[in-house]
Amino acid sequence: MSQIKVTLLFLAVLNTVLGYKGNSPGFYMHDIPTYFVNDDIYNLVSSTQLTPDYGLLNSSNLLGKATRTLNADILQPDIVGYQKIPYSDENVSFKEGLIMIKESCQALGVVATKYVNWAKGSPKVNNSQPGYRCEYPIFTYAEKDLHHYSEDVVTSFLIQVELCAKESTYTTNFFFVSSKPGRLLSKPLNEGCAYSLFAPIKRLPFPENMEG
Ligand SMILES: *[C@@H]1O[C@H](CO)[C@@H](O)[C@H](O)[C@H]1NC(C)=O
Ligand SMILES: *[C@@H]1O[C@H](CO)[C@@H](O)[C@H](O)[C@H]1NC(C)=O
Ligand SMILES: *[C@@H]1O[C@H](CO)[C@@H](O)[C@H](O)[C@H]1NC(C)=O
């Protein structure tokens, strides 16, 4: 089995064990088509359908795998979410305000961290269930003012997700990339591969701390 299939199987088993329902409250169904217009990865898997689980392979699902593979949460603990950003030759037509926020859920002492969709202004996500406690640093640290995190596009530790359709399966690769302030990166051109780019959203210090 390919690495991605093993990972997805593992996640499916873990989710069943933990009783996770797999939905992201606060993410409205009617937003999905708008968002997918610009998800090259989802478009590539939809048009090739090489594996039975192709429907799970979209940019936001792969972002979680990317952060784990790159140890992004350990390297940059102040990151509370990610925002999909366009390459220089792309139009920004995906749902504005849709971000992927960090979720850490704990059951039986095991913590599982991933990123879930959340549209700004929509109800807060809470996937907690009895015996399964989830925390969202973006809400914890911005309880009083949800705008209390950086809206600027960060230019380092951007995450680039690559998915390639090769023969009968998909391979994924994840990279940290940097851009120059005010300049978008150009999309890599590789036959049979699709790309997504994510910019981290960082926690800002509380105003009290900044004054002191
Ligand atoms: C990606 O797929 C999952 C299902 O596996 C779905 O819940 C999620 O909404 C999809 N991502 C986007 C951006 O729609
Ligand atoms: C972006 O949108 C503009 C205006 O709608 C259009 O003229 C242009 O061709 C689009 N560019 C791409 C790369 O889709
Ligand atoms: C999330 O949901 C759980 C269980 O329904 C509840 O106990 C908890 O207080 C909620 N957390 C927040 C921040 O609303």
Residue 140 confidence class, pLDDT cut points 50, 70, 90: confident
**Number of domains into which the chain is organized:** 1
Distance from the CA of 148 to the center of ligand 1, in angstroms? 26
What's the confidence (pLDDT) of residue 122? 81
Residue ranges lining ligand 3, Cβ < 6 Å: 126, 128
What does the pLDDT average to over 81-88? 84
Residue closest via CA to ligand 3's atom 9 equals: 128
For the segment 52-62, what is each residue's pLDDT rounded down to a tens digit?
Answer: 999 889 888 89
Residues whose CB is less than 8 angstroms from the CB of residue 181 and which lie 6 or more positions away in sequence, other chains included? 155
Quickly count: other Cβ atoms within 10 Å of residue 94's Cβ: 18
Distance from the CA of 33 to the center of ligand 1, in angstroms? 11
Q: In the predicted model, is pLDDT for residue 134 greater than 80? A: yes
- If one residue of 128, 141, 143, 146 were mutated to test the ligand 3 pocket, choosing by the most ligand atoms within 8 A of its CB, it would be 128
Q: What's the rounded Cα separation, in Å, for the pair 142 and 153? A: 18
Residue 41 to residues 12, 46, 162, Cα–Cα distance (Å): 21, 9, 8
Q: Is 70 helix (H, G, I), strand (E, B) or coil?
A: coil
Residue 191 confidence class, pLDDT cut points 50, 70, 90: very high
Does the residue 211 lie in any domain? no
Residue closest via CA to ligand 1's atom 7 equals: 23
Q: What's the rounded Cα separation, in Å, for the pair 169 and 166? A: 6
Does the residue 212 lie in any domain? no
Does the residue 208 lie in any domain? no
- Smallest-distance ligand from the CA of 58: 1
- If one residue of 126, 129, 132 were mutated to test the ligand 3 pocket, choosing by the most ligand atoms within 8 A of its CB, it would be 126
Q: Which residue carries 């009783």 as its tokens?
A: 19
The answer to whether the beta carbons of residues 86 and 97 sit under 8 Å apart is: no
Does the residue 26 lie in any domain? yes
Residue of 100, 111, 2 whose CA lies nearest to 59:
100
Quickly count: other Cβ atoms within 10 Å of residue 33's Cβ: 9
* Residue span of the structural domain in which 102 resides: 3-203
